[in-house]
């Protein structure tokens, strides 16, 4: 936080901007500076993405291809994750499920960030009544447990992957709105913002060109630390039968399907869960490393 304020008193706003960007997005590119844990996290995420994209393309089995002669096979070389009751290759499906889960997660994150940061900017700049309304709504949402809200909203609007994404976004934005508003409050009276206002810049330009680049860093880090719990919430809702519907490959749904063969084929529930765990672990390792970088670079 202190770095933002210090950077912002520099006379040249362009230079100030550049300094702040260095704690934000370019941190992803400066992989070497993330430490072993952060690098491990980044590597896990890369593997997951490559697997999700490539495996269904090169796999000899189709995502929904059933083989009646190969039902409930134990993990072996031909089927590293085994096969399910319809003889579908679980490795191919787990990889394809990565597409579903990762896309849903990033869609939910992008929407939450857009709404949250947008409302936060609005509340922080406008102040007064708008500020109060937005912040009180955010307070109430943040007081409630996210999973229960997700379950209720998803249940009322019918089970589907998109419902779950919308349900999650409908309360996930609140945290970002809160943080954005606080950060806006901190920089809105800095000389470079005032200078911009003095030369007649529009509120939109001030918000997007002056304020936003300054406060991006902490918001990105917060979002990075959130990806894991977002993924777990979305998959958890699918696990409960509220999200993705068969035959869509999705980790939570595959895990739930595997429960029926709990005794005979425990691998059916083991591997999809392992994928969720590894993904979340990777994101959390990277997020923690990013946070450390932003706090130690002060």
Partner 1 sequence: MLRYTITRLAIALPVLLAAVTASFILIHAAPSDPVAIMFGAVRGGSQVGATGTQRDALRHELGLDRSWPEQYFSWVARTAQGDLGTSFRSRRPVATEMGNRMPATLSLGLTALVVQAILGLGLGALASRHPGGFVDHVTNAIAMILVSVPAYWLGLIFLWTFAVGLNWVDVTGPPDPSRIVLPALTLGLVMTPPVMRVFRTSLIEQQSRAHVTVARSKGLAEGVILFRHVARPAILPAITLLGISMGEMLGGAVIVESIFSWPGLGKYLLDSILARDYPVVQGYMLLTTFTVVIGTLVVDLLHGFLDPRLRTP
Is 200 a residue that touches partner 1 (CB under 8 A)? no
Task: Report which of 67, 81, 185 is spatially closest to residue 126, judged by C-alpha positions.
Answer: 185
Selected range binding partner 1 among 8-16, 81-89, 111-119, 271-279, rule: CB under 8 A: 271-279
Is 129 a residue that touches partner 1 (CB under 8 A)? no
Is 29 a residue that touches partner 1 (CB under 8 A)? no
Specify the DSSP class assigned to residue 75: S
Among 155, 160, 166, 201, binds partner 1 (CB under 8 A): 155
Of 213 and 241, the one with the shorter C-beta distance to partner 1 is 241
The least CB distance from residue 108 to partner 1, in Å, is 16
Selected range binding partner 1 among 63-71, 101-109, 155-163, 210-218, rule: CB under 8 A: 155-163
The least CB distance from residue 82 to partner 1, in Å, is 15
Is 161 a residue that touches partner 1 (CB under 8 A)? no
Neighbour count for residue 39 (Cβ, 10 Å): 16
Is 55 a residue that touches partner 1 (CB under 8 A)? no
Tokens of 17: 């901007």
80 close to 51: Cβ distance less than 8 angstroms:
no
- Intra-chain end-to-end CA distance of the chain, in Å: 8
Selected range binding partner 1 among 105-113, 121-129, 213-221, 279-287, rule: CB under 8 A: 279-287
Residue 30: alpha-carbon gap to chain centroid: 20
Q: x/- binding map, residues 67-106, to partner 1, per CB under 8 A?
A: ----------------------------------------
The least CB distance from residue 52 to partner 1, in Å, is 18
Task: Report which of 237, 223, 251, 2 is spatially closest to residue 111, judged by C-alpha positions.
Answer: 223
Torsion angle of alpha carbons 92, 96, 102, 108, nearest 10°? Answer: -150
> Any idea which residue has 């001030």 for tokens?
206
Restricting to residues 207-246, name those near partner 1 by CB under 8 A. 228, 232, 235-236, 239-242
Is 35 a residue that touches partner 1 (CB under 8 A)? no
Q: Is the dihedral of CA 245, 251, 256, 260 positive or negative?
A: positive
Specify the DSSP class assigned to residue 240: T
Residues 6 or more apart whose Cβ sits within 8 Å of residue 108:
165, 168, 169, 172, 230, 234
Of 24 and 272, the one with the shorter C-beta distance to partner 1 is 272
Is 140 a residue that touches partner 1 (CB under 8 A)? yes
> Any idea which residue has 């922080």 for tokens?
124
Q: What is the Cα–Cα distance from 108 to 199, expressed in whole angstroms?
A: 38
The least CB distance from residue 73 to partner 1, in Å, is 19
Of 95 and 280, the one with the shorter C-beta distance to partner 1 is 280
Torsion angle of alpha carbons 264, 268, 270, 273, nearest 10°? Answer: -150
The least CB distance from residue 36 to partner 1, in Å, is 11
Beta bridge partners of 83: 89
Which parts of this chain interact with partner 1 (CB under 8 A)? Answer: 136, 139-140, 143-149, 151-153, 155-158, 228, 232, 235-236, 239-242, 252, 255, 259, 262-263, 266, 269-270, 273-274, 276-277, 280-281, 284-285, 288
């Amino acid at each position: 936080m202190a770095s933002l304020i210090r950077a912002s008193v520099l006379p040249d706003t362009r230079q100030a901007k550049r300094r702040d960007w260095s704690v934000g997005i370019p941190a992803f590119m400066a992989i070497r500076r993330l430490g072993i844990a952060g690098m491990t996290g980044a590597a896990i995420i890369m593997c997951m993405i490559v697997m999700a994209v490539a495996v269904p393309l090169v796999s000899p089995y189709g995502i929904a291809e059933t083989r009646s002669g190969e039902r409930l096979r134990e993990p072996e070389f031909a089927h590293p994750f085994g096969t399910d009751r319809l003889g579908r290759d679980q490795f191919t499906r787990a990889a394809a499920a990565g597409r579903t889960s990762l896309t849903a997660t990033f869609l939910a994150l992008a929407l939450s960030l857009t709404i949250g940061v947008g409302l936060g900017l609005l509340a922080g700049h406008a102040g007064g009544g708008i500020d109060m309304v937005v912040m009180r709504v955010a307070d109430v949402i943040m007081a409630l447990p996210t999973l229960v809200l997700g379950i209720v909203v998803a249940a009322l609007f019918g089970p589907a992957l998109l419902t779950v994404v919308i349900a999650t976004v409908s309360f996930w934005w609140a945290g970002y709105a809160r943080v954005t508003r606080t950060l806006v409050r901190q920089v809105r009276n800095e000389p470079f913002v005032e200078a911009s206002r003095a030369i007649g810049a529009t509120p939109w330009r001030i918000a997007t060109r002056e304020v936003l680049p300054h406060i991006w860093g902490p918001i990105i880090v917060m979002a990075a630390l959130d990806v894991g719990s977002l993924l777990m919430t979305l998959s958890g809702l699918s696990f409960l039968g509220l999200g993705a519907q068969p035959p869509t490959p999705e980790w939570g749904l595959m895990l739930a399907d595997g429960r029926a063969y709990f005794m005979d084929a425990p691998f059916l529930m083991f591997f999809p869960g392992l994928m969720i765990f590894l993904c979340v672990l990777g994101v959390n390792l990277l997020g923690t490393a990013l946070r450390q970088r932003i706090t130690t670079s002060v």
